[in-house]
Amino acid sequence: MDSVNRALLCCGLPLLSLLLACQGPVTSSPSLIAQAAEQEQQLLQGGGPPPQRSAGSDGMALGYQKRTGLHIDIPYLCDRRLESIREEDKADQLGGLLTRKELPENEEELTFEKATVWLYDGRVYRIRKKLGHPMDVPTALGTSGFPLDLGPPIESTSELRWNFTWNTRRIRLERSGSDERLYLSIDVHAFMPKELF
């Protein structure tokens, strides 16, 4: 029995020290609970969902970065206060401001080079953008920041629509008249102001 204990002791100590040495440095990324608390706090303050985190070389968050292949990141822009979006992000995703129209009940319609944006009390509640060219459903959704498949839509002769999905009230794709498999524009409501009352 002593020889077995000695063998375990001789092999176990070097193995244990090797495992401890291979762990590497401990990172200080926030826990899931801390991230959820941060998101909830930001929602309560009216900032919408926080920007996606991307870790730099030191493990710290660099802030929002538009993903490659997106024309406009509609989920990022929706339900945010327009003034809280960085100017370079607005210029990149929406282009320059062309017209601004005051609407009743604290609403505004802003026409940018790349999209039309509706505000309620300074918050983006709707974005409508013409697609660069007629696109199929996965391409239209993917280039607008949504997953390629949102599940079964509500289908009509002129549009596809999803209600209450992907943190939005409604996502609409307007069908092309020449080819019913292709779509010309995407129209997204983060919320509908009339439903707030």
Ordered structural domains, the chain, with CATH = 33-65 (no CATH), 69-196 (3.40.33.10)
pLDDT of residue 7: 55
pLDDT of residue 113: 94
For the entire predicted model, the pTM comes to: 0.66
Three-class DSSP category at 5 = helix
pLDDT of residue 130: 94
Which residue stretches of the chain have pLDDT < 70?
Answer: 1-37, 39-40, 43-63, 197
Dihedral of CA 3/8/10/11: which sign?
positive
Contact residues for 128 (Cβ-Cβ < 8 A; gap 6+)? 115, 116, 185, 186, 187, 188
Helices (H), the chain: 2-21, 32-44, 74-77, 87-94, 137-142
Helix (H), strand (E) at residue 101: strand 97-103
Partners of residue 186 on adjacent β-strands: 129, 173
